[in-house]
Amino acid sequence: MTGFAEASRLREKVDHLFALIGNPNVGKSTIFNRLTGMGVLTANYPGMTVEINLGETEYGGERIGILDLPGTYALGAVSEDQMVARRGILEAGPEVVVVILDATNLARNLYLLLQVLDLEMPVVAALNLADEAERQGLRTDLEQLNELLGIPVIPTVATRGDGLDRLMKAALELAHSPGDFFPVPFYYADDIERHAREIAAEIGRSGIRIPDRIPSRALAILLLERDEEFTEELRGMEEASGVLALVQKAREEIRRAHGNDAAVVIARERYGIAGSIVEATQKKTGREKSSWGERLWEYTTDPRSGLLILAAVLAAVFCALFFLGDLLARAFSELWGVLAAARLERAIYYALGEGTLGVAVKWGLVDGVEAALSVAIPYVLTFYVILALLEDTGYLNSVAFLTDRVMHRLGLHGRAIIPLISAAGCNVPAVMGTRVLSTRRERVIASTLIVLIPCSARTAVIIGGVSRYAGWGYALLLYLIIFLLVTAVGLLLNRMLPGRSSGLVMEVFPFRRPSARTALAKTWVRLKDFIFVATPIMLGGSFLLGLLYGSGWIFKLEAPLRPLMERWLGLPAVAGLALVFAFLRKELALQLLLVLALGTSSATLSGFMTARQIFIYAMVNSIYIPCAATFAVIWRELGWRTALAVSAGTALLALAAGGLTNLLT
């Protein structure tokens, strides 16, 4: 499924199609979620790993499709995010582009808006975080801003939904009357404009087919900026040789006149225009006292206090997973047992008998559901709520600044900590998140470390298995061992792989109050995917294990695993089958093990394996090969050789760690 092909199909079903664009930290996704009610279809742009979101909403009796483009600071072709965002505007053909601006950092955000206006697209702007700007003492003259830009600018507070009704009304009015859209034209330096007009005129005379309906002036500016995508496209057209020659001549003249490349000059001009607009429309009051968000940012990024705060946050996360996750697990398990388990088991045996088929269905439905309710869902749900709150507050950005020096020792920079932390939720989007890193070397190192970080599925195994059946001390010890292994692997890869880590460049965002509604919405989207994607696999795996057990085949299949499992790892040979199935999804490792315990003579997991064995089993599962989905995304992002190398390396590391633990304990 390609993202913009899907957008075209959506456009045929709705009355209008709008596109949302803005930087990654401006609340664009929150606005999208508010407008669509989380009715989201996720898609990929062909040839890219960047995801876009599609949704629908209704306003004024009309159905409106919403295209949520990747967060980006610009519309160049230097990264996948930028390229897909630009392609979304040009190829998907939205009637209105809604640019989300940050009221607390308006000058930085206006750069993107000016680029969209260069494309001569109908635009409405949302001045988001209006409440935060007011708390910081920033006052924006909206009437003046509307007049200077020549487009509707609507103040919004995405977390509360304030202003979204007015935003949709303005966008719909523009969609109904596109001929009434008259933005104020912005011009660059005289020689830049002169060269742009000459190139645009040559484009018209040459008769070349202008790509993607892009205006000739906009194409001329992009060519002056050395845009690789459009330059390469024109190089394939014989009739475009005159245009490219004129562009090259113009670049040389601009360099002689300004002492810089045309791209630098144009970027400087845009920032100058943005700065002038902000100077004319936004004032800071005399309030000298810093906001609570700014003070908290200072505390969390100061090494003296920041490390203590980070340790406290990690401890709080562990305690929440241990106590709240365990409470939910017990409640869900007891509820399932009281309401359905016994009745369903009797019904299955009554209908199918207690033979192979009856045992398999009982394992799949009764024991499989109980395993999901008592192991996976409670801990995954708890972690997703915590992750959503950490994202909404902006704490992950401060951790990036705090850890920058340490990350350089691992061959990365502070920004890499964000995908590494998000890996604790799911490794798949975390690997995709390594696109924020500038070199392949950094992406290889980060992706390898991500595979070693326990995701929510493996956390469910550690907390739901090790902590619950062996004790929280074993769980803490396992996390410590994994942390030491991640550090050692990072140091080793930094020494082995050629090259150096790049510097940290990112915007500073003060802390913000999290929205309970937004956090719960994010949690539901993640949990919904887990429930509807993972649970059927769990039940299917449980059914297959039951079929193997009922038919006696399980004892034949465990034989080849016996030397490795029993002699080296000190585990029951049959437990190896659960590890094999866990390649599909990591949480299957414990759930299928629990199913084995429930389906055999053991009443609980503690009766099937000792605390020491549970510890070793969870260690191997946490370290060895990534799940199938993570393996696939590493293959797509970095190639099959890297995917196989990461898998082989982690498998050997897991077996070595598990075997040594067995020998030493």
Separation CA 126–CA 99 (nearest Å): 6
- Could you give the CA distance from residue 34 to residue 160 in angstroms, rounded to a whole number? 9
Higher pLDDT, 569 or 71: 569
Our CA angle for 182, 188, 193, nearest 5°, is: 90
Report the DSSP pairing between strands 282-284 and 96-102. unpaired
- Asked if residue 451 lies in contact with residue 621, where contact means CB atoms within 8 angstroms, the answer is no
Which CATH number is 3-180's, of 3.30.500.10, 3.20.20.140, 3.30.70.1710, 3.40.50.300?
3.40.50.300
What's the pLDDT score for residue 661?
Answer: 92
Residue 511: helix, strand or coil by DSSP? coil
Alpha helices in 365-426 (DSSP H): 368-371, 377-393, 395-402, 404-409, 417-422
pTM of the model: 0.66
pLDDT tens digits for 302-338?
888 888 988 888 888 878 877 887 788 888 888 888 8
pLDDT of 47: 41
- The CA distance from 164 to 148, in Å, is 22
Distance CA 138, CA 103 (A): 8
pLDDT of residue 568: 92
pLDDT the model gives residue 467: 84
**C-alpha distances out from residue 212 to 88, 118, 218, 563, Å:** 11, 14, 12, 62
pLDDT, greater one: 200 or 367: 200
CB of 341 within 8 A of CB of 370? yes
Q: Which of 17-31, 201-215, 244-258, 328-342 has the highest average model confidence (pLDDT)?
A: 244-258
The residues, ordered by sequence, that sit 6+ positions from 476 with a Cβ below 8 Å of its Cβ are 318
Q: What is the DSSP letter of 355?
A: S
User: Is 215's pLDDT higher than 70?
Assistant: yes
**Measuring CA to CA, which residue among 475, 486, 412, 498 is closest to residue 453?**
486
The answer to whether 167 and 154 have CB atoms below 8 angstroms apart is yes
What's the confidence (pLDDT) of residue 645? 94
Give percent helix, percent strand, percent coil of the chain, each to the nearest 5: 70, 10, 25
Segment 441-479, tens digit of pLDDT: 888 999 999 999 988 778 877 887 788 788 888 888 999
pLDDT band at 600 (very low <50, low <70, confident <90, very high): low
Q: Please give the structure tokens belonging to residue 348.
A: 């299955």
Q: Is the pLDDT of residue 97 over 90?
A: yes
Residues in contact with 10: Cβ distance below 8 Å, sequence separation at least 6, in sequence order: 17, 41, 54, 56, 65, 67
Q: What is the pLDDT of residue 42?
A: 46
Which is more confidently placed, 209 or 92?
92
- Rounded to whole angstroms, how far apart are CA atoms 498 and 409? 14
Average pLDDT over residues 21-39: 79
At residue 467, φ and ψ (nearest 5 deg) are -65, -40
Rounded CA separation 132/511 (Å): 10
Give residue limits of the domains in the chain: 3-180, 190-258, 303-504+511-664
What residues have CB less than 8 Å from 245, skipping those under 6 apart? none
Instruction: Output the six-digit token pair for 448.
Output: 């390898």
Q: From the CB of residue 28, how many other CB atoms can be counted at a distance below 10 Å?
A: 25
What digits encode the pLDDT tens for the residues 119-175? 888 999 999 988 888 877 889 999 999 989 989 999 998 888 899 999 999 999 999
Residue 289 pLDDT: 54
Question: What is residue 41's predicted lDDT score, i.e. its pLDDT?
Answer: 47
Q: Output the pLDDT for position 483.
A: 92
Average pLDDT over residues 261-268: 90
Per the prediction, the chain carries an average pLDDT of 82
The burial of 255, by beta-carbon neighbours within 10 Å (0-12 exposed, 13-18 middle, 19 or more buried), is given as middle
The DSSP 8-state label assigned to residue 162 in this structure reads: B
Whether the CB-CB separation of 400 and 414 falls below 8 Å is answered with yes
Q: What angle do CA 334, 337, 343 make, to 5 degrees?
A: 165
Q: Which range is most confident: 24-38, 174-188, 613-627?
A: 613-627
352-389 residue pLDDT tens: 888 888 878 887 788 778 777 776 678 778 878 887 88
Cα–Cα dist 142/156, whole Å: 12
* Element (DSSP H or E) covering residue 505: none
